[in-house]
Structure 1
Amino acid sequence: MTDQPGLLEGLDPQQRAAVTAPRGPVCVLAGAGTGKTRTITHRIAWLVQRGLVVPQQVLAVTFTARAAGEMRTRLRGLGAHGVQAQTFHAAAFRQLRYFWPRVIGDELWPLTEQKFRLVTQAAGRLRLATDQDSVRDLATEIEWAKATLLTPEHYPASAAERGRECPVPPEHFTKVFEGYEKLKNSAKVLDFDDLLLHIAAILEENTEVAEQFRAQYRSFVVDEYQDVTPLQQRVLDAWLGQRDDLTVVGDANQTIYSFAGASPRWLVDFPLRYPNAEVVKLERDYRSTPQVVTLANRVIGAASPDRGAEGENTGSSGTELTLVGQLPDGPEPEFAAHDDEAEEARAVSRRIARLAGNGVPFSEMVVLYRVNAQSELYEQTLSEAGIPYQVRGGERFFARTEVRQAIAALRGAANRGNTGPGELPKVVREVLSEVGLTERAPSGGAALERWQSLNALAELADELAGQVEQADLTHYVAELDTRASAQHPPTVEGVTLASLHAAKGLEWDTVFLVGLVEKTLPIQYADGDEDAVEEERRLFYVGVTRARQRVRLSWSTYRGQGGGRKRRRSRFLRELDPAENSAPAPKSKRREKSAGSRRVREVHCRICSTPLTATADVKLGRCSGCPSDADEELLTKLRGWRTERAQQLRVPAYVVFSDATLLAIAEQRPDDSEALSRISGVGATKLERFGSDVLGLVNGSDHSGG
């Protein structure tokens, strides 16, 4: 590969130690925001550059197609072409396609698309419930059993030993499990867990195949190692054989999939399993402000001492991590109590609108909740406020009609002829304009959602052109195909709504953690189970550590409007919030307290001196009935400037400044930063971002007509 002299530039001492560690067992304990992906991709590129490994002999595995796609993109940018970066299941599927015909003597059985139907048949034969929820519970339990290497006959005893709640009596589940496997084998199909079971068995039982595989792959990297299941660990052991050229990366504080069979014990015990292992801790947090980091440390620091997933002791092996913030100070975390859920959602919506008005992109804000059912209220509230959003885990980006149409058009253009050097972004935008991409974003609704999808494709062309020299339309379409298969979409402008589990591995400037009440976080079924409660705490920790700048934690006293059963805020908040009261005061009292606890500055009309009460009047600094004294020439220039800046930033115009704020500027004509900052709608962020431009227009205007 091309020499990359900058591979170690910009790395802190711990990251550098991880990157340059010799081949052999290496354990990187990487806290949230500590540059984990950067570190492991630079390590792979370093080993390749130094000639210590051949790219085609490296297999890096992680847990989501998106993470694997991100890893491939970064490795490509570092010049480490040829490294395999895949999920466990994708890697096993690829290997089975190659070895199955040779070992089994037949074509690889296809993956079943009828798993629920097979489980339904197996349950129906036993006269068990076959409604959608019951079948889903049975399918989930079968997945857990296979992930933890349990056969049907061993399930009852093991489930009882682990205190596992079975959706049906264990002896009935055993028969459903057996029936499902028989139906699946008769149909000659596989499920996802079979991919791992079969590749492990082939490598364990066929020496010749194992030797051939291990000659091909000599170095392994496992990301998110705290989330491996017993089945995935069995596959990894089969890949390795007796070798130890293995780098693992993980954080026991982020183990949130124990319910699916994941366990951090292999990460925690790695130094015991490999006594000569190099262990490196990454604790410098480059993602979040010190305020967010402090909150995160307090969340995880309140956990039961030395207690990890499944009750394992995580303190004795030196795997505990304490984050150290590296960024400048930011705002303190916000704690907000509300009377009911609807009020909570409206408050979040208003806060989002204010932040957007101060220049924070919608795509840099997320609303996180514990269960998916909580999203509906926020979808409705944001829609009513005209705020664009996307539900993570909803309709997949590449399945959208406009995206499929766009890719078809791009593929046709690529087949007709390639682009020249440096032309990719221009040509992609020309093709996308034929299917609906315009220079300016529509004002809202479905049209805006379609525009955002197409614009995300255009921005991806900019990104690819900056990463790959000589990138043309053929390269671009191939990148889209790769991302589609990996479900690795480009960024779409809009507030994200996501469950805490779905947020793992992602980050935003601003995080709203909502619905933080008992029986939701921790979830109701965790109550009374200390291990389950600690997993809920780690889930909360994951949510907090998604924030770069701001985190707002909120809860409501009642579920619906008008009262009902009173709810208590989460026990996790009671350990964090300095406020003593756990519920909002009645509205009338809050108004009294507000009026009595701070002096409210009365604003008067600058023309007739009448006290102003309406928000729009306060923003303009005059009564609505008083005549406007706006400099019309300046107002026209401000509107033109706003349009240009909005197009450059690819945001709606009101995100730069609202019409009311522009009118206030044109009327009051501030001549310095202090005067400009006093205008409602010009916060500190906007003053820093747009202040010089606005003041240049104001000071350069002819005021004689004012």
Structure 2
Amino acid sequence: MKEYKLKGYRSLKKDNYLIDYSKELNPRQLEAVESAEGPALVIAGAGTGKTKTLIYRVARLVEENIKPQNILLLTFTRKAAENMLKRASMLLDDRCGKVAGGTFHSFSNMLLRKYSKFIGFQENFTILDDSDSESAVGIIRSGLGYNKTDKRFPLKSTITGVISRSINKNTDISEILNTDYPHFAHWSEEIKLIQLEYQAYKKEKQMMDYDDLLLYTEKLLKDNDELRKKISSYYRYIMVDEFQDTNRIQANIAYLLADEHKNIMVVGDDSQSIYSFRGADFRNIMDFPKVFPRCRIITLEQNYRSTQPILNLTNSIIENSKEKFSKKLFTKKESSDKPVYIETQSPNIQSKFIVQRILELREEGIELKDMAVLFRNAWHSDDLEIELGAADIPFIKFGGIRFTEASHIKDLIAYLKISYNSSDTISWFRILQFLKGIGE
């Protein structure tokens, strides 16, 4: 009997695949890759092959005759999306490169330009970067006369930060000030007025900042039912990476995009939520099963990065979390070396101990480039940087700026330099900037 197949419809079965998925993936990764229809939450512990799983799922969907342009991959950075799709193309073929991929901001930018008339903007609206946003807020601040009101009135950069945090956390400006900027809490009404003027200014000048890209996309999808159905039907399979680091607006956008089909897979780890200061809300990943009660929960636990003693330690720490998705990381990598906990009497003693240990390891033949020191915050390294300098140990700092490169430290050093060398014109120039009538 002759078999007929309607074009554009997904084949329910495929007898053979170009990729041997069961050979390349562990059982839980394979489960995630083969999960196509309906909502799915993938809890991916650190080092468990999250990226590999997403790459193979893209390839699998393409192999199952899903049109690449109907697949949407949303990632934390644009580079991550580009890398995943490039690797998927190398794994399968060039069709994977046609998958729609990018950050929430880049996707929103594309969508808003395409449907700009629905939100009262022209297609050629301008996007303000952080510096541009501060300049715009500065213009409004000056126009309202707040730059002359009080020397303690928040700077334009601070105001921009407050407004952005308020939007990303979906929290009133007064609460943001009370929690994060208590010394500016009495300027609440003035900052609210600046925000209103800022919004009107951008609309008039046909400009959006990064937060607007998300806000207007959410509004576009919420307020236009037919358009939302059209967009949702087009992007039939949605994947969101690092879901624990999304804010409420981004999560809502993802839910709205999946409104017609519910084919949404979010991947992340509740134990790795570290961007709350940017507005990320770990409740997004915790509450996903409530938003989609029938979602499949898949946990990736096999670690490919660490040794078992390290994982035993992390498992015991994670176990103490009050709210979590249960997981127990394991690996085939065995080691007799166990993590060591050192407690010191002060930060400076800690720094001296680290320097001493670095020197000992170097004597044992371990190169400096193979050593690393991790900190929770960039500024926590200040004391260690001083001790490393005193010991003539070269280092590279990733994230933040070096202690000696901080503005206030450079100011102090400039004074010391001219006391030592009165002909140091660069240091003189820096100091003279503080004098009224010379500096700003």
Does the TM-score normalized on the shorter chain lie above 0.5? yes
Change (3 A) 1:76 1:382: farther
Q: Is the 8 A contact 1:3 1:49 kept in 2?
A: yes
Change (3 A) 1:214 1:364: farther
Q: Is 1:111 matched up with 2:127?
A: yes
Number of the residue aligned with 1:139: 160
Change (3 A) 1:346 1:85: farther
> The residue matched to 1:5 in structure 2 has which SS?
coil
Q: Is 1:272 matched up with 2:323?
A: no
Number of the residue aligned with 1:324: 330
CA displacement at 1:149 relative to structure 2: 3.9
Q: Map Cα deviations across residues 34-54 of structure 1 (whole Å, 9 max, x no partner).
A: 211111221221122222x22
CA distance in 2, matches of 1:367, 1:65: 28
Q: Is 1:232 matched up with 2:238?
A: no
CA displacement at 1:70 relative to structure 2: 3.6
1:672-683 equivalences under 5 Å are none
CA displacement at 1:214 relative to structure 2: 3.3
Q: Aligned letter for 2:163?
A: I
CA distance in 2, matches of 1:362, 1:85: 38
Q: Aligned letter for 1:296?
A: T
- Quick check: 11-20 or 62-71, which moved more? 62-71
CA distance in 2, matches of 1:211, 1:362: 56
CA distance in 1, matches of 2:84, 2:251: 21
CA displacement at 1:14 relative to structure 2: 1.4
- Quick check: 74-83 or 375-384, which moved more? 375-384
TM-score by length of 1: 0.48
Q: Is 1:9 matched up with 2:23?
A: yes
Number of the residue aligned with 1:74: 87
- Quick check: 38-47 or 254-263, which moved more? 254-263
Change (3 A) 1:107 1:55: closer
Q: Is the 8 A contact 2:229 2:259 kept in 1?
A: no
Which residue of the other structure, out of 175, 185, 193, is the alignment partner of 1:168?
185
CA distance in 1, matches of 2:42, 2:19: 23
CA distance in 1, matches of 2:388, 2:103: 35
Q: Percent identity?
A: 28
Number of the residue aligned with 1:190: 208
CA displacement at 1:97 relative to structure 2: 3.0
Number of the residue aligned with 1:371: 377
Larger RCO: 1 or 2 (CA < 8 Å, sep 6+): 2
Number of the residue aligned with 1:25: 39
Q: Hey, which bits of structure 1, 4+ residues long, moved more than 6 A?
A: 130-133
Change (3 A) 1:358 1:16: farther
CA distance in 1, matches of 2:116, 2:288: 32
CA distance in 2, matches of 1:105, 1:177: 19
Q: Is 1:100 matched up with 2:121?
A: no
CA displacement at 1:362 relative to structure 2: 4.8
CA distance in 2, matches of 1:96, 1:64: 19
Q: Aligned letter for 1:93?
A: N
Number of the residue aligned with 1:647: none
Q: Is the 8 A contact 2:118 2:220 kept in 1?
A: no
CA displacement at 1:375 relative to structure 2: 3.4
Q: Which has the higher strand share?
A: 1
Q: Is 1:393 matched up with 2:399?
A: yes
1:681-696 equivalences under 5 Å are none
Change (3 A) 1:362 1:46: farther
Cα RMSD (Å) of the superposition?
3.4
Q: Map Cα deviations across residues 472-528 of structure 1 (whole Å, 9 max, x no partner).
A: xxxxxxxxxxxxxxxxxxxxxxxxx99xxxxxxxxxxxxxxxxxxxxxxxxxxxxxx
Q: Is the 8 A contact 1:99 1:209 kept in 2?
A: no
Q: Is the 8 A contact 2:72 2:238 kept in 1?
A: yes
CA distance in 1, matches of 2:365, 2:280: 40
Which residue of the other structure, out of 274, 278, 292, is the alignment partner of 1:256?
274
CA distance in 1, matches of 2:90, 2:151: 50
- Quick check: 219-228 or 269-278, which moved more? 269-278
Instruction: List runs of 5+ in structure 2 lacking aligned partners.
Output: 1-15, 404-440
Q: Is the 8 A contact 1:29 1:251 kept in 2?
A: yes
Number of the residue aligned with 1:34: 48
Q: Aligned letter for 2:241?
A: D
CA distance in 1, matches of 2:285, 2:243: 6
Q: Aligned letter for 2:166?
A: A
CA displacement at 1:360 relative to structure 2: 5.4
Aligned length: 378
CA displacement at 1:379 relative to structure 2: 4.3
Q: Aligned letter for 2:63?
A: Q
CA displacement at 1:92 relative to structure 2: 1.1
Which residue of the other structure, out of 56, 64, 86, is the alignment partner of 2:102?
86
CA distance in 1, matches of 2:357, 2:86: 35
CA distance in 2, matches of 1:168, 1:129: 14
Which residue of the other structure, out of 260, 263, 268, is the alignment partner of 1:242?
260
> The residue matched to 1:235 in structure 2 has which SS?
helix
Number of the residue aligned with 2:68: 55
CA displacement at 1:143 relative to structure 2: 1.0
1:593-632 equivalences under 5 Å are none
Q: Aligned letter for 1:251?
A: D
CA displacement at 1:122 relative to structure 2: 4.0
Q: Aligned letter for 2:72?
A: L
Tell me which structure has the larger Cα radius of gyration: 1
CA displacement at 1:296 relative to structure 2: 1.4
Change (3 A) 1:14 1:364: farther
Change (3 A) 1:9 1:353: farther
Instruction: List runs of 5+ in structure 1 lacking aligned partners.
Output: 307-313, 396-496, 499-706
CA displacement at 1:224 relative to structure 2: 1.4
Which residue of the other structure, out of 286, 302, 319, is the alignment partner of 2:304?
286
1:372-521 equivalences under 5 Å are 372-382=378-388, 388-393=394-399
- Quick check: 223-232 or 3-12, which moved more? 3-12
Change (3 A) 1:122 1:296: farther
